[in-house]
Amino acid sequence: MPEGPSIVIMREQTAGFIGKTIVQASGNTKGVEMAALRGQQLLDLRSWGKHFLIQLPDLALRIHLLMFGSYRINERKDATARLSLLFDDGDELNFYTCSVKTLEGDLDSNYDWRGDVMSDQWSAAAALKKLRAAPDTLVCDALLDQDIFAGVGNIIKNEVLFRIRVHPLSTVGALPAAKLRELVAQARVYSFEFLEWKKAFVLKQHWLAHTKRVCPRCDLPFHKGHLGKTKRRSFFCTNCQKQYPPALTPAAAPDLPLKPARSDSKPRSQKTPPPS
């Protein structure tokens, strides 16, 4: 599933469509009345978290690429588009395997931009307030909560928790105040680093935890588990990532859903974040 930084890149790549007029709309989505789009000028393109947003005079469109969605600019895939927009100058924008929804009113009335980690209006204070209101939430779930960290996905979750040395099964309320502030700060910092590395085509080279087998700090096998309510994959080191509050002993918690990852290969030499 594309994370917030990838949607920012999508927004930047399509910025040239602003001001153009739709002359034809088609596709197999059931969430849009195609006839209503014809003749409308594209006023703005924005992003909020994992949502790509198209502002038209009478309505707005929300595109969510889900797990395997994609888009094409001035080219087509050998598949039926979910939504295809043809403009007055012959350019076209095509979306595949995604969710398309019509939004009434302007985008500012539909979104709180303070919750988007990539937005200029991002509010760390608002995120902290929401986290403190959910003390029993696991941090692995909190980071993926789009109402708190819009745009954060599983890669960012794993890398942020490794960077700040926090176990994914920690609860929000058990984190020290300084560590909670660090969690919020690094969710935004890492998102912008993700954006920079993604543009340079070197994102995977900077992963320290996500999909890795060995901790680059401790040279011990990572653990892997589908944790929390989201059941998304977590990669973590039980030696340097502290759990708040401390975990039960393995004998007292035999059903703890952790599975050691294979450790038959050494990690590449990588720069390790400074200790917290």
Please report, in tens digits, the pLDDT of each residue of the chain (276 residues total).
789 999 999 999 999 999 999 999 999 998 799 999 999 999 999 999 999 999 999 899 999 999 899 999 999 999 999 999 999 999 999 999 999 999 987 899 899 999 999 999 999 999 999 999 999 999 999 999 999 999 999 999 999 999 999 999 999 999 999 999 999 999 999 999 999 999 999 999 999 999 999 999 999 999 999 999 999 999 999 999 999 998 765 433 333 444 444 444 444 444 444 444
Nearest-angstrom CA–CA distance, 200 and 249? 44
Q: How many helices (H) and strands (E) does the chain have?
A: 5, 11
In the block, residue with structure tokens 């307030």: 129
Domain count across the chain: 2
- Do 153 and 241 have their domain in common? yes
pTM equals 0.86
- Do 59 and 167 have their domain in common? no
**Element containing residue 225 per DSSP (H, E):** strand 223-227
In the block, residue with structure tokens 């200029």: 120
CATH of the domain at 21: 3.20.190.10
> Which domain does 195 fall in, by range?
122-260
- Do 163 and 90 have their domain in common? no
- Do 47 and 145 have their domain in common? no
- 241 within a domain of the structure (yes/no): yes
